[in-house]
Amino acid sequence: MLRKEEAGQEPTYSRTADPPAEQHDLGALLAFRNGDLSAFESLFRLHQRAVYGWVLRIVRNPASAEEITVEAFWRIFRSHARLDPARGFEPWARRIATHAAIDYLRKQRPDTQLPPELPAPLVPDPAISEEIRRKTALAFGRLPPTLRTAAALAVIEERPHKEVAEALGITVAAVKLRVFRALRILRKDLTKQGITP
């Protein structure tokens, strides 16, 4: 998440690693579950960058990821009584953030730009390469949000299926099925656009 280093300076991303959920004091998690505002603020400070990074992987837009992160933490605060301290804060927060990101994607029009992390196809003609990237971006943007999220996390971000399953609140088999369906739909869409995947 963004943080001001000093008043008047531009926000910067911190590269420090967030502590794993296991390092949290069980008392702080219990206090948060009971509605303690200072415990929530502490958890927010510890996990905001991790949640923001997770959301960014899904929506691929820093400004939107900022807004969704705020929405996710609002949902987290409202759902404090459902936290299971034994399971940790971060996986639970990631699941809530994932659903907030999917809700955001459902409201958006398909994105016409591919994220810069995707490699360009190996085609000698730059005009053809750009056309393939544009058509691929359109096809990816037309995927249903749940399939697009699973494909973005499992294929583009190369996150483990187990981690994606926990974030989506589904089984590993369901993640694999969603990725398979997303790739099948993407292949059909590209074929209709005249691109042989």
Domains defined along the chain, listed by start = 1-8+21-107 (1.10.1740.10), 126-197 (1.10.10.10)
- Residue 125 confidence class, pLDDT cut points 50, 70, 90: low
Task: Using CB atoms within 10 Å of the CB of residue 22, give its burial: 0 to 12 exposed, 13 to 18 middle, 19+ buried.
Answer: exposed
Three-point CA angle 140, 144, 149, nearest 5°: 70
Q: What is the pTM of this model?
A: 0.66
**pLDDT number for residue 16:** 40
Residue type, 169: G
**Where is pLDDT greater, at 73 or 138?**
73
Among residues 168, 191, 193, the alpha carbon closest in space to that of 179 is found at 168
Q: Say if residue 1's pLDDT is above 60.
A: no
What's the whole-number mean pLDDT along residues 61-65? Answer: 92
Task: Say whether 167 sits in a helix, a strand or coil.
Answer: helix
Q: Which helix (H) or strand (E) is 2 found in, with range?
A: strand 2-3
- Residue 126 confidence class, pLDDT cut points 50, 70, 90: low
**Where is pLDDT greater, at 154 or 16?**
154
**pLDDT number for residue 75:** 95
Tokens 């997303």 map to which residue?
182
